Amino acid sequence: MALYSEKVMDHFINPRNVGVIEDANGVGEVGNAKCGDIMKMYLKIEDDTIKDVKFETFGCASAIASSSMATELIKGQPVSEAMKLTNKAVAEALDGLPDYKMHCSVLAEEAIRAALEDYNNKSKSNGG
Ligand code: FES
């Protein structure tokens, strides 16, 4: 049996939404101290909706595939829905990850949450 699903391979070889959003209003960066992988998420939120999302991931194939899939899952969604995204949902959307690679999908969940928290903090300090 192949170690990775076709979807994982697809999102690793051809990741969606890679890059930087210059005028992002929510940015989150997380890392895994054990493997040293780093993930950065950029969100452009308007009218409480994720209008655009991009990521930069310095990490393993599963981390890249997880970030790519996670961006696809939250794009166009309301902030409240994006907040609920779990690493399990990301892994399921990828048709599964090997057990010892589940932590890579956790990174995607954490990066999105960190970017959403950044957005919340910023909108609070803007008096909103
Ligand atoms: Fe570290 Fe995949 S091995 S995120």
Split the chain (128 residues) into runs of 10 and give each run's mean pLDDT. Answer: 90 98 98 96 98 97 98 98 98 97 97 98 77
Residue whose CA lies nearest to ligand 1 atom number 4: 104
From the alpha carbon of 104, which atom of ligand 1 is closest?
4
Helix axis angle, 102-125 to 61-74, nearest 10°: 50
Residue whose CA lies nearest to ligand 1 atom number 2: 104
Task: Check if the beta carbon of residue 86 is closer than 8 Å to that of residue 19.
Answer: no
From the alpha carbon of 62, which atom of ligand 1 is closest?
2
Tokens of 122: 């910023």
DSSP run (H or E) holding 58? strand 49-58
How many residues are there in the chain? Answer: 128
Residue numbers annotated as active site: 35, 104
**Half-sphere exposure at residue 91, Cβ-oriented, CA atoms within 13 angstroms:** 16
- Ligand 1 binding pocket mutation candidate from 103, 105, 106, 110 (most atoms within 8 A of CB): 103
pLDDT value at residue 106:
98
pLDDT value at residue 124:
83
3-state secondary structure of 40: strand
pLDDT value at residue 125:
79
